[in-house]
Amino acid sequence: MTGQNAGGSLALRPLILVPALITFGVTLLRLTGELLGWSPVLFSREAGGGMAVVGIVWLVPVFGVYFAVKLVRMGHGPASAGRAVGLAFLALLIVPALGFLGAALGFPPGGRRLLLVFVVAAIAAIFVAFRAWPALGRVLLAYGLAARIPVAAIMLVAIHVGSGTHYEKGAPGFPEMGALAKWFWIGFLPQMTVWIAFTVVVGALCGGLAVLAVARGPKPATA
């Protein structure tokens, strides 16, 4: 496997530009579908998005594999694909593990204390995922910011105008508060931590698995 420093410096913008534009287009499509009342299966207005078919969350594994393949071709592959997958899987376990701990401590679902637990878990998960494959971690972090900053901005507007979309709804039991405070707790904080961690960790896991599968695949016959 090619070492991580073999290809020189890594330019992030050319790598993430097209995926970021595609993601932004899906975000705008999702917002339009909710505002116009299109199919709830495709454009759910439920808090959290209701696992709607149209959403940027489904793009993460796709672009995780895409970025991984591009990095390997550029000479920025992981030192060990197996180690990259193992650490990414460990990072994936951190968030639910600390979430269960917060629930065991009696933090109410949808409350701010439990959210802070998830924020800490997200930061820890990002750190571990970076150790799995630093080059891919940097690309996924940049892509995650490009994907999630527009969502956070849309949520700020949605909360202020009362759009009726999922972008303004907190989890069940979330306390009433002013618009800006609500945006901080259900918009800015989750988008800039938990969802960034999801992007980095899931993208790193899928990318690592793709590289591992290729590395362990059948080798071309020699003469």
Handedness of CA 194, 62, 23, 11 (dihedral sign): positive
In one-letter notation, the amino acid at residue 22 is I
Per-residue pLDDT, 163: 87
Rounded to whole angstroms, how far apart are CA atoms 56 and 151?
A: 10
pLDDT above 80 for 9: no
Euclidean distance between CA atoms 182 and 192, whole angstroms: 15
**pLDDT tens, position by position, 38-52:** 999 999 999 888 889
CA-to-CA dists, residue 92 to 45, 46, 150, 155, 214, angstroms = 27, 25, 25, 26, 22
Q: Which residue has the higher pLDDT, 115 or 129?
A: 129
Predicted confidence (pLDDT) at residue 218 exceeds the cutoff of 80: no
pLDDT value at 4 more than 50: no
Lookup: tokens for 152:
């956070």
Average pLDDT over residues 189-198: 95
CA–CA separation, 196 vs 198, rounded Å?
Answer: 5
List, for residues 88-107, the tens digit of each pLDDT value.
Answer: 999 999 988 887 777 777 77
Only one residue has tokens 């790193």, namely 204
Question: Tens digit of pLDDT for each residue in 158-192?
Answer: 999 998 999 999 877 788 889 999 999 999 999 99
pLDDT of 209 reads 94
Q: What is the pTM of this model?
A: 0.89
The mean pLDDT of 6-29, rounded to a whole number, is 88
**Per-residue model confidence (pLDDT) at position 104:** 76
Give the residue extent of every domain in the chain: 12-215
Q: What is the mean pLDDT of residues 16-35?
A: 97
> Which pLDDT score is estimated for 76?
92
pLDDT above 80 (res 2): no
Q: Dump pLDDT digits (tens) for 199-215.
A: 999 999 999 999 988 87
What string of H, E and C letters represents the secondary structure of the chain?
A: CCCCCCCCCCCHHHHHHHHHHHHHHHHHHHHHHHHCCCCCCCCCCCHHHCCCCCCHHHHHHHHHHHHHHHHHHCCCCCCCHHHHHHHHHHHHHHHHHHHHHHHHCCCCCCCHHHHHHHHHHHHHHHHHHHHHCHHHHHHHHHHHHHHHHHHHHHHHHHHHHCCCCHHHCCCCCCCCCCHHHHHHHHHHHHHHHHHHHHHHHHHHHHHHHHHHHHHCCCCCCCC
**Distance between CA 29 and CA 213 in Å, rounded?**
34
Digit-coded pLDDT (tens) for 15-25: 999 999 999 99
